[in-house]
Chains A and B, each alone.
Chain A
Amino acid sequence: MCATCGCSAQDGNNSVTIRLVKPGLQHFQNLKPVQNEDHLHADEHPHKHPDHTNQHQHNEGNKKISLEIDVLAQNKLAAVRNRGFFEGRNMKVINLVSSPGSGKTTLLEKTLVQWKPGVPVYVIEGDQQTDNDARRIAKTGVKVVQINTGTGCHLDAPMISNALHELNPEFGSVLFIENVGNLVCPAMFDLGEQARVVIMSVTEGEDKPLKYPHMFHSSDICLINKTDLLPYVDFDMDKAISYVYRVSHVQDCLPVSATKNTGLENWYRWLSNLLAQNSSQVTAKVQAL
């Protein structure tokens, strides 16, 4: 049982796998589990034989230990390490989070083709199973690493650290991390990113921010995707935006349609602004949150 998320990540079939995906690569070719050393598992704790304690009666007195242990400390430490790596390589790292089917991958495909930052761009794809999304991204010519979490419901900072060894990003580059489609769990797991982008779509209903406030609360900007479908769905854009601001401090809410190329210029402008900030400014902001 996984220490951080309760997933059964140590089972052979469900191991977390990390691999570089190239455009021509077939499904699951060379798929080999990567043992994540930082990803500790509770079952690994030695279980002392109960009879053994009877031999040490002088040690049997109870001892109270006062502590201040953050339950998520292991992930937070790994996230801080990642953040240092990104700062050292002068990188900008963006974590994309949303529910499944909100259009993250389509948005990312469009972004990789249309946004011209003038620096190398990389992608880490997170999904429970398959490398379908990574193969879509690889077609754009961008170097992409797929992380399959098995039964895990989110990416964590040690997984990103391992993926970075595969990716070996250049100095001054941009990295997009597409998280597992889930509006609950990824909210609690800092990956070391400098900006978190939450994407909702008009087909999901305008009350998503109120139903899943933690994800919106922890994000820096909100994109509302699939605006081309507005004529066909009962979605009140003003209400949706007001709900986002009720639960979060996002810098902006940008209505976009990734498939029809509407509103994307605002998104690219936001990305370019992020790129123009120096890393220490961004890091200071993230720490302040």
Chain B
Amino acid sequence: MHELSLVCGIIDAACEVMQNNGATQIEEIELEIGLLTGIEWEAFDLAWQTARRNTPLAAASCHIAKKEGRAECLECGRLYSVVSLADVCPECRSYFKNIVSGEELRITALVVK
């Protein structure tokens, strides 16, 4: 459900930018997606292929920069990579952390014509 939500949001926002720039077609789209957003990539691909039909993005190539999850330990201050929100600090074994990256969900560039 999630993934279709996000894809529809992406298409909507991209089309708005395209129109504001007087263009009619989107050739390329660049996305930045954090690995902690909980996105299931197979579901995302399926949603992308389905939802962009009959939109100006129908033939667009999609480049996704996947951002690794990073956390700051709130006990010892160590910065470390996280794959899951339940990961533990490798230094002090605390679970208490702030997520500093990996939750991005952004359109970073469009190529329009």
Q: Which residues of B contact A63 (CB under 8 A)?
A: 21, 23, 111-113
Q: Which residues of B contact A73 (CB under 8 A)?
A: 13
Q: Is the CB of A53 within 8 A of B25?
A: yes
Q: Is the CB of A210 within 8 A of B24?
A: no
Q: Which residues of A contact B86 (CB under 8 A)?
A: 209-210, 213, 243, 246-247
Binding site for B on A (CB under 8 A): 1-6, 40, 42, 45-48, 50, 52-53, 59-74, 153, 184-185, 188, 209-210, 213-214, 217, 243, 245-249
Partner of B9, one of A52, A64, A65, A71: A71
Taken together as a complex, chains A and B put the C-alpha atoms of A46 and B54 apart, in Å, by 11
Flag B93-113 by CB within 8 Å of A: 1 or 0 each: 001100100000111111111
Q: A47-B54, A71-B9 are in contact. Are A217 and B85 (CB under 8 A)?
A: yes
Q: Which residues of A contact B79 (CB under 8 A)?
A: none
Q: Is the CB of B107 within 8 A of A67?
A: yes
- Residue among A62, A184, A209 facing the most chain B CB atoms (10 A cut-off): A62
Q: Is the CB of B110 within 8 A of A64?
A: yes
Q: Which residues of B contact A209 (CB under 8 A)?
A: 86
Q: Which residues of A contact B13 (CB under 8 A)?
A: 69, 71, 73-74
Interface positions, chain B 19-57, Cβ under 8 Å from A, are 19, 21-25, 27-28, 38, 47, 51, 54-56
Partner of A67, one of B7, B19, B85, B109: B109
Partner of A45, one of B10, B22, B38, B55: B55
Q: Is the CB of B9 within 8 A of A62?
A: no
Q: Which residues of B contact A70 (CB under 8 A)?
A: 105-106
Q: Which residues of A contact B1 (CB under 8 A)?
A: 5-6, 153, 184-185
Query: A-B contact count, CB below 8 Å?
Result: 128
Q: Is the CB of A185 within 8 A of B12?
A: no
Q: Is the CB of A66 within 8 A of B111?
A: no
B15 within 8 A of A: yes
The majority secondary structure among interface residues of chain B is mixed
Interface size class of chain B, counting residues whose CB lies under 8 Å from the partner chain: 35 or more
Q: Is the CB of B8 within 8 A of A4?
A: yes
Taken together as a complex, chains A and B put the C-alpha atoms of A245 and B15 apart, in Å, by 41
22 A-B pairs whose Cβ atoms sit less than 8 Å apart in the complex: A2-B5, A3-B9, A42-B8, A42-B11, A45-B56, A47-B56, A48-B56, A59-B22, A61-B113, A62-B111, A63-B111, A65-B109, A67-B106, A67-B107, A67-B109, A68-B106, A68-B107, A70-B105, A71-B105, A214-B85, A246-B85, A246-B86
Taken together as a complex, chains A and B put the C-alpha atoms of A200 and B111 apart, in Å, by 46
Q: Which 3 A-B pairs have the closest CB atoms?
A: A6-B4, A213-B85, A5-B5
- Closest Cβ of chain B to A208, distance in Å, is 12
Q: Is the CB of A68 within 8 A of B108?
A: yes
Q: A40-B12, A48-B24 are in contact. Are A64 and B85 (CB under 8 A)?
A: no
Q: Which residues of B contact A59 (CB under 8 A)?
A: 22, 113
Q: Is the CB of B51 within 8 A of A6?
A: yes
Residue of B nearest to A289 (CB): B98
Taken together as a complex, chains A and B put the C-alpha atoms of A189 and B110 apart, in Å, by 26
- Closest Cβ of chain A to B105, distance in Å, is 5
B66 within 8 A of A: no
Q: Which residues of B contact A67 (CB under 8 A)?
A: 17, 106-110
